[in-house]
Amino acid sequence: MATAGTAFSFSFPSLTAAVASEDPNNHGEWDYDQNGPSMWGEIAPDFKVCEMGTQQSPINLESKSAIHTQLNDLTFDYHLSALHIVNNGHTIQVNPDHNNHLTLATDKFDLLQFHFHHPSEHVIANEHFPMEAHFVHRNSQGELAVVGIFIKEGRENHVLKTFWEQMPEKKGPSRLVNGHVNIHQLLPNKKASYRYMGSLTTPPCSQIVRWIIFEEPIEASSEQIQAFAKIYPHNNRPVQPNNHRMIIEG
Ligand SMILES: [Zn+2]
């Protein structure tokens, strides 16, 4: 069991459901409207934890209630990659080829995919950002580490621009992204983060995620944010009860 250089430990139930959730053909009929977050627990037996779980995500993050420590344990090994982009009916997702990694303490995770939410799912002191990107990683034991990056309104983002120009407006199969993109350039400069144990923010809401939420947002232009919002006006799950979970900041 990896402990990421911190004092908490946790157990990981089956990953089968989490992997299934990445398959656009394998969803129950959930969405962010009629079959929205308050209904998810009723849609399928596998989704029960969305309703009953006590370690659900996203949550509100506040410096004043976090445990402060020095966390220099993240190494991103992201490269120029061939990428596929897909509108899976819930978000715009990008799937890289398999040479991108995150090392968390001594634990190596492969980057599986990244995707976007509008507005942000996590909030800082109850404030949303316009968007949030989630970089989903998995290690050889099947444990997940998801890096959350807030997106605020500012300058045009040239990395996002490549994706946005090829963003499928309707749900459909994935397409090869034209042009190679160095996704390392999507990361903020400062690596200070909040860490906590939580869940997938979409059904089946499996409580298997080590969350790493960067404090420093990246920027996108208001036009870029609006272009995403035109496809997904609100694909964010509301904030879930913290239930006295430990949040580490460092
Ligand atoms: Zn997400």
Q: Is residue 19 part of a domain?
A: no
Of the listed 27, 90, 117, 118, which one is catalytic? 90
103 Cα–ligand 1 center, Å: 20
Percent of the chain topping pLDDT 90: 82
Phi then psi for residue 49, to 5 deg, are -65, -20
Distance, CA of 160 to CA of 191 (rounded, Å) = 20
Distance 90 CA to ligand 1 centre (A): 10
Q: How many domains does the chain divide into?
A: 1
Establish if 21 belongs to a structural domain.
Answer: no
> Is residue 89 in some structural domain?
yes
Cα 209 to Cα 72: distance, rounded to the nearest angstrom = 20
Contacting residues for 110 by C-beta, under 8 A, at least 6 apart: 98, 100, 101, 137, 138, 139
Question: Does the pLDDT value for residue 22 go beyond 70?
Answer: no
| Cα(203)–Cα(197) distance, integer angstroms | 17
In tens, the pLDDT along 138-186 reads 999 999 999 999 999 999 999 999 999 999 999 999 999 998 789 999 9
Q: Is residue 131, in this structure, part of any structural domain at all?
A: yes
**Residue 18 included in any domain:** no
Residue 214: strand pairing partners: 193
Residue 66 Cα to ligand 1 midpoint, Å, equals 22
Structure token digits, residue 14:
């089956």
- Across residues 95-120, what is the average pLDDT? 95
pLDDT tens sequence across 210-233? 999 999 999 999 999 999 999 999
Band of residue 10 on the pLDDT scale cut at 50, 70, 90: very low
Q: Indicate whether 75 pLDDT > 80.
A: yes
25 has pLDDT over 70: no
State which amino acid sits at residue 76: F
Q: Please state, in angstroms and rounded to a whole number, the distance separating the CA atoms of residues 214 and 147.
A: 7
| Beta strand pairing call for 209-214 and 193-198 | antiparallel
Q: Is residue 12 part of a domain?
A: no
Confidence of residue 81 (pLDDT cuts 50, 70, 90): confident
Q: Looking at residue 28, what is its pLDDT?
A: 60
Can you give the residue range of the structural domain that contains 144? 43-249
Asked if pLDDT for residue 58 goes beyond 50, the answer is yes
Which 3-state string (H, E, C) describes the chain?
A: CCCCCCCCCCCCCCCHHHHHCCCCCCCCCCCCCCCCCCCHHHHCHHHHHHHHCCCCCCCEECHHHCEECCCCCEEEECCEECEEEEECCCCEEEEECCCCEEEECCEEEEEEEEEEECCCCCEECCECCCEEEEEEEEECCCCEEEEEEEEEECCCCHHHHHHHCCCCCCCCCCEECCCCEEHHHHCCCCCCEEEEEECCCCCCCCCCEEEEEECCCEEECHHHHHHHHHHCCCCCCCCCCCCCCCCEEC
CATH of the domain at 153: 3.10.200.10
The answer to whether residue 149 is domain-embedded is yes
Q: Are 140 and 126 in contact (CB under 8 A)?
A: no
- CA 111 to ligand 1 center in whole angstroms: 14
> Distance, CA 236 to ligand 1 centroid (Å)?
8
Q: Report which of residues 21 and 58 the model is more confident about.
A: 58
Question: Is residue 150 within 8 Å of 132, Cβ to Cβ?
Answer: yes
Cα 139 from Cα 142, distance rounded (Å)? 5
Indicate whether 71 pLDDT > 90: no
Q: What is the pLDDT of residue 61?
A: 98
Per-residue pLDDT at 99: 87
HSE-up (13 A, CA, CB side) for residue 229: 15
Q: Residue 54's CB: how many other CB atoms inside 10 A? A: 13
Give a yes or no: residue 7 inside a domain: no
CA of 148 to the centre of ligand 1 (A): 8
158 part of the active site: no
Bridge partners, residue 94, by sequence: 85, 114
User: pLDDT-based confidence at 12, cuts 50/70/90?
Assistant: very low
Cα 239 to ligand 1 centre (Å): 13
Query: pLDDT band at 98, cuts 50/70/90?
Result: confident
Task: Work out the average pLDDT over 84-112.
Answer: 95
